[in-house]
Amino acid sequence: MAVRAPFSAAFLAAFALICLAAEYGLAQSPLGTKWEESLVRLPVPAGPLTPDVTVSAAAQQAVAQRRPAATYIFGDGKRLTTRSRTGRFRLVGLRAGEVVDIALQLPARLPAGSAMAQPLDGGKLISFSRSDVDVGGLATIRFQAGSQPGLYRVFVPGFGAPSLIQFWVADPNNPRANPPVMNPQH
């Protein structure tokens, strides 16, 4: 007997998009205090943490390899590679109007036609392609940031779990409103 899923993949992708948009507010607006309010405040431990279970370095590496990875290639040839635990990648700094190439590697094998990319906050998606590889899906994205300071995101559903690539164009007139980025010297 076949079990029918209560929601379609398109419905779930649209719902995820709405939730992500609601989390950050309006597009292309400097986040300022909204960004700070979205941070989860966790208690700081009083002493050193001691794990209950010892995990080998090989096991830790195997877990890390199952997480999505993004490699950013900037116009000056510099590269930045990062992994995500949740599918939402950390902020990467861009200049206004800058073009960046992203190679998004996902561990789960996917049907070639199931992934897409969508800019959420402006900017321009110049190109998008996807392919299957032995270890999972690969998407290559060329994105151009908008001309205004603020948050620019690219939503990539369809690789098993959605991924959210995040960029920040710094506001030179209000440096205190700029959140930390992975490449502060860029």
Q: Is 2 exposed, middle or buried (0-12, 13-18, 19+ CB in 10 A)?
A: exposed
- Give domain status of residue 38, yes or no: no
pLDDT digits (tens, 9 = 90+) for 57-70: 444 444 444 568 99
- Give domain status of residue 4, yes or no: no
- Give domain status of residue 5, yes or no: no
> What pLDDT shows up at residue 37?
47
Instruction: Specify the 3-state DSSP secondary structure of 17.
Output: helix
Positive/negative CA dihedral, 101, 107, 111, 115: negative
Q: How many domains does the chain have?
A: 1
pLDDT above 70 as % of the chain: 54
- Give domain status of residue 177, yes or no: yes
- Give domain status of residue 47, yes or no: no
> 77: domain CATH number?
2.60.40
Range of the domain at 119: 61-186
- Give domain status of residue 24, yes or no: no
When mean pLDDT is compared over 49-53, 59-63, 72-76, 155-159, the highest value belongs to: 72-76
- Give domain status of residue 92, yes or no: yes
- Give domain status of residue 118, yes or no: yes
